[in-house]
Amino acid sequence: MNVYFLSLILTVILVISFNTEALSPHYYDHSCPQADQIVTNAVKKAMSNDKTVPAALLRMHFHDCFVRGCDASVLLDSKGKNKAEKDGPPNISLHAFYVIDNAKKALEEQCPGVVSCADIVSLAARDAVALSGGPTWEVPKGRKDGRVSKAIETRQLPAPTFNISQLQQSFSQRGLSMHDLVVLSGGHTLGFAHCSSFQNRINNFSTQKQVDPTLNPSFAASLKGICPAHNKAKNAGATMDGSTTSFDNIYYKMLMQGKSLFSSDQALLTTPSTKKLVAKYATSMEEYERAFVKSMIKMSSISGNGNEVRLNCRRVR
């Protein structure tokens, strides 16, 4: 019996290793050597017209990988009675899908039926970071596109109201560590949050407190001005840090000052180990960039259920 279980464990380890090895930065070297550049060109063009594109692409990649793995299921349109991921509540504000469409169209012209939509999403996220002043890296490629996309499964995404225990569980279920949690949260340096994402911290926080006491008082007051208790403005909200179009470590600096938006951001200060990492990255951009690249590659390697290359990223064949 013990020999059987040992054999089974070794088999599982070998399968996991094989799945990791299946992705390679050189996957398209012969079949589509221009793949990286074609995606970069599409991202650059979109960024020249819309400064919110980088944040959208980075968030899109995260939301794709956390539901069914990195299989581009987030790109599929709802059809008939099936409501797809992109129409799930956490994804309603996702945008810039056209960037992926444009990259796919250009790739199909150069290398028909070769580059997966899942790889395009991963490449576009890398370009979003690099073109915003952040680090660049060689993206391991070879992902396949999935055929299933269900809005109800977006409940699996970590919510902005999560505490540290909930965050740890969500990340560990996907093979990501607490270190990865802190590092990937730093991606909030790009972007914007609607009032609904942090309303819980500035109005009726608890029975004793109207406002989350961990928030900087003047910062909280400014948020209340933007997002009153009965806010009716659909697009009202705040930027995630003071340099929302630049990839930097200001997110961590603001977090240390009590100027974070989400409860899930503040949660990073509630354990000694995660708080130490926040302080580390607040003081060293070099350390943060190095860690971010490692965690991004790790997250983008979460195995999906895909087995094809879609010709149109919005629908299955």
Could you read off the pLDDT of 131-148 as tens digits, one per residue?
A: 999 999 999 999 999 999
Q: Name, in order, each residue with C-beta under 8 angstroms of 314's C-beta and a sequence gap of 6 or more.
A: 75, 76, 77, 97, 101
Query: Is 71 annotated as ligand-binding?
Result: yes
Could you read off the pLDDT of 194-217 as tens digits, one per residue?
A: 999 999 999 888 888 989 999 999
- How does residue 3 score in pLDDT terms, banded at 50, 70 and 90? very low
Fold of 164-299: Peroxidase; domain 2 (1.10.420)
Q: Which residue has the higher pLDDT, 311 or 10?
A: 311
Distance separating alpha carbons of residues 144 and 305, to the nearest angstrom: 8
Residue 161: pLDDT above 80? Answer: yes
Residue 10: pLDDT above 70? Answer: no
Could you read off the pLDDT of 22-52 as tens digits, one per residue?
A: 899 999 999 999 999 999 999 999 999 999 9
Residue 5: pLDDT above 70? Answer: no
Q: What is the DSSP string of 246-264?
A: S-SSHHHHHHHTT--SSHH
Query: Is 158 annotated as ligand-binding?
Result: yes
Name the percent of the chain lying above pLDDT 90: 82
Query: Is 189 annotated as ligand-binding?
Result: yes
- For 155, other C-beta atoms within 10 Å of its C-beta total 11
In the chain, what are the domain boundaries?
A: 34-157, 164-299
Distance separating alpha carbons of residues 240 and 163, to the nearest angstrom: 18
The pLDDT value recorded for residue 11 is: 41
Average pLDDT score over residue span 253-281: 97
Residue identified by tokens 């997966």 is 116
The pLDDT value recorded for residue 239 is: 87
Average pLDDT score over residue span 151-179: 97
User: Which of the following is catalytic: 30, 61, 63, 194?
Assistant: 63
The pLDDT value recorded for residue 229 is: 81
Residue 147: both structure tokens together: 């055929």
Query: Is 119 annotated as ligand-binding?
Result: no
Average pLDDT score over residue span 256-260: 96
Fold of 34-157: Peroxidase; domain 1 (1.10.520)
Query: Is 188 annotated as ligand-binding?
Result: yes
Residue 63 falls in the annotated catalytic set? yes
Distance separating alpha carbons of residues 95 and 196, to the nearest angstrom: 18
Query: Is 248 annotated as ligand-binding?
Result: yes
Q: Name, in order, each residue with C-beta under 8 angstroms of 183's C-beta and a sequence gap of 6 or more.
A: 277, 281, 288, 291, 292, 294, 295
Distance separating alpha carbons of residues 181 and 197, to the nearest angstrom: 19
Distance separating alpha carbons of residues 276 and 287, to the nearest angstrom: 13
Could you read off the pLDDT of 50-101 as tens digits, one per residue?
A: 999 999 999 999 999 999 999 999 999 999 999 999 999 999 999 999 999 9
Average pLDDT score over residue span 268-293: 98
The pLDDT value recorded for residue 88 is: 97
